[in-house]
Amino acid sequence: MNGIRLFITLLALSAIVALNSCSEPAGPKKYPAPVTYLLATSIDSNSIMIQWQPSATEVDPAFDRYIVKINGTDGYSRSDTILRVSNPHKISGLNQDYVYGIDIYTMIKGGELSEKTSVVWAPAFRFTEESSGEPIRVYEQASLNGCGLDLYDTESNRARVLTLDSSHFWNLGLSVGNNVQFGTPSLLNFNYKDNPPCYTEISDFYYDTPTLDIVYTTDPLSIGVFSQKLINLTEIETQIKSHLIVIVRTKEPGQSLSNYAKILIKKIDGKFLQGTANNRYIECEISYQKSLSVPYAKKPIH
Higher pLDDT, 150 or 255: 150
Report how far apart, in Å, the C-alpha atoms of 17 and of each of 20, 29, 59, 221 are. 10, 10, 21, 31
pLDDT band at 296 (very low <50, low <70, confident <90, very high): low
Helix residue ranges per DSSP H, 187-281: 233-236
**The last residue of a domain, from among 121, 142, 162:** 121
User: What mean pLDDT do residues 40-44 have?
Assistant: 89
Do residue 66 and residue 157 come from a single domain?
Answer: no
**Is residue 26 classed as helix, strand or coil in its secondary structure?**
coil
Do residue 112 and residue 185 come from a single domain?
Answer: no
pLDDT in tens, 108-132: 999 999 999 999 889 999 999 998 8
- Asked, for residue 63, whether it belongs to a domain, the answer is yes
CATH of the domain at 100: 2.60.40.10
* CA pair distance 39, 298, nearest whole angstrom: 10
* CA pair distance 287, 2, nearest whole angstrom: 23
Do residue 104 and residue 136 come from a single domain?
Answer: no
Containing structural domain, residue 166: 125-288
- pTM for this predicted structure: 0.79
User: What mean pLDDT do residues 49-54 have?
Assistant: 92
* CA pair distance 95, 114, nearest whole angstrom: 29
Q: How many domains does the chain have?
A: 2
Percentage with pLDDT > 90 across the chain = 66
